[in-house]
Every structure is written in structure tokens, then in C-alpha cells.
Amino acid sequence: MPHPYLSHDARPRVIAHRGLVTAKLAAQGVVENTRAAMTAAVAAGARYLESDCRLTSDGEVVLFHDVDLARVCGDPRPVAAVSYRELTSFFADRGGLLTLREAFEMFPEAHFNIDIKSKGVAEAAGRIIAPHAERVLVASFADGHRRAALQAVRSASGSGVRPATSPGRGALIRTLAALAAGQRKAAARALDGFDALQIPEKYGRVRVLTPRLIDLAESSGVEVHVWTVNDPAEMNRLFGMGVRGIITDRADLALLEAAS
């Protein structure tokens, strides 16, 4: 049986990457991962919301992607060096700062794809995720960060329900290496314990997504989700290949394509 995170029969799945910032919202100063961006994604019909989490200087788990505030706020300081109160002020006219706890409360019907961006945030995020594990997928480029968050969920959860999860860089490399060597059983073992395989189509010049990988994942009960896809023609091509979900900045367009 699929994890409850994937139990909703939405095929293909559209996962709103950092919410949805339309041209109109961007003109108003709204940025990614904010209250306004997540609200816009839900209003467009998105059931799945992707975000990243980091820890503030005073221990709040906030939705934020970058290490520092330079790109989003024009401030070079790391997020970890800024207090929750100051971040709230920064985001007051950018769509509104959102904590992980608030996200679960504000969007009780949404399923969340949460990327653990640092070792420091893993334990705190895991404790917040624990009561909502049935509607969360935990991911991270760093397998250690992902495992730390899952361990924190296990420690905090009385029910024993775990979040869904997708492999980090190390587990993905092991899968691809085994598949390239013709060791299908070893590749399948590398996917054991995962619910989704969330990958780019290419990494640099290296092709990650292949028909063989899709076939392996499907036969292992693992859904393939590809990021970050914003062009409708590319969405349709990937859906035609058998990709089960896409992670996109344009959830509004993707939902229209998925319904057509």
C-alpha cells in the first residue's frame, strides 16, 4: 500500500515548488515560501506543497530555501544569524513569513514536501512534523539531514507513523550506479524504504531520468517525481514517459495540463 502522503489518487501529481508566485504577485513584492505564495498555490488547486526549512537564531523553524537572505531580502546574513522577529519584519511586505508549524495549521488539507536544509534544523523540524507525518514527505540532498529528521519524528511520535521519504544524493548515486552496472537487484535494494524518487531530469550533463530508472522505481513501488519543470510541453512529455509527479514553480499551469 502507498504511504498516506501518496494515497490521494492524483496522477500525475503536481507539487507546488515553494508555493506559487504569479507575475501579479511578484509585481506586488511577494516571494517564494511565504504565506501568500502557499495560499496562491492552494487557491490554484494544488494539494501538494513543497518547501524548505531552516532554523532562525532563536530556534524557530521557518520556510526558507537559501543559506542567507541575500537573494530574497538583499541582506547578506545567514538565516541562522537572524531572529524570528526580525525575519517577520523583513517579510511583512514580501508575502509574510511562514513557520513550519504555521504551515501545517494554515493548510490542514495540504500534503507537504519538506526539504531539510541543514543538520541544525533536522531535529526541530522532525518534532513539528511528527503529528502530521501521514501528510508529509521528508527529503534532503544530504542523506544525513534526512535521516536525522526521520529519527526526530520517530522519537516524538506516539503513533509510530513515519513520513514518506525520498533519497538524498548518496542513495540516488548508489541506485544509478547499480542500474548502470546492470545490477537491477542491487538498484532495487538501494530504493528500499523510499516512497518517491524526486530527481532532476539531468544533473549537469549527466542524464538522471531514464526509462530504465522509471521502470525500476515503478516495480519497486516508488513514484518518480521530477523537478523543477515549468514548461507545459515538458510537463506533457514527462507525463508521457510515465513520470508520476512534477515539482513546479507554475502549479497553476501544471494543474491545467494534468487535467487535460
Place 10 in a pLDDT band, splitting at 50, 70 and 90: low
Mean pLDDT rounded to a whole number for the chain: 95
User: What whole-number distance in Å separates Cα of residue 53 and Cα of residue 127?
Assistant: 13
Comparing 75 with 205, the larger pLDDT belongs to 75
Over 80: is that where the pLDDT of 260 sits? no
Cβ partners under 8 Å of residue 214, min gap 6: 224, 241, 242, 243
Give, as one character, the DSSP assignment of residue 162: P
What does pTM read for this prediction? 0.96
Instruction: Give the pLDDT band of residue 215 (cuts 50, 70, 90).
Output: very high
How many residues are there in the chain?
A: 260
The per-residue pLDDT for 159 is 63
Give domain 11-165's CATH number out of 3.30.565.10, 3.10.300.10, 3.20.20.190, 2.130.10.30: 3.20.20.190
**C-beta of residue 25 within 8 angstroms of C-beta of residue 36:** yes
Per-residue model confidence as pLDDT tens digits over 148-179: 999 999 999 866 789 999 999 999 999 999 99
Question: Where do the domains of the chain lie?
Answer: 11-165
Average pLDDT for 2-26? 91
Instruction: Write down the pLDDT at residue 204.
Output: 86
**41, 20 contact by CB (below 8 A):** yes
pLDDT in tens, 20-76: 999 999 999 999 999 999 999 999 999 999 999 999 999 999 999 999 999 999 999
Give the span between the Cα atoms of 249 and 107, in whole angstroms: 19
pLDDT, residue 205, reads: 86
Mean pLDDT of all residues in 237-257: 94
Q: Which pairing describes strands 61-63 and 48-55: parallel, antiparallel, or unpaired?
A: antiparallel
- Is the predicted pLDDT of residue 127 greater than 80, yes or no? yes
Q: What is the mean pLDDT of residues 137-144?
A: 97
**Angle, alpha carbons 100-104-106 (nearest 5°):** 110
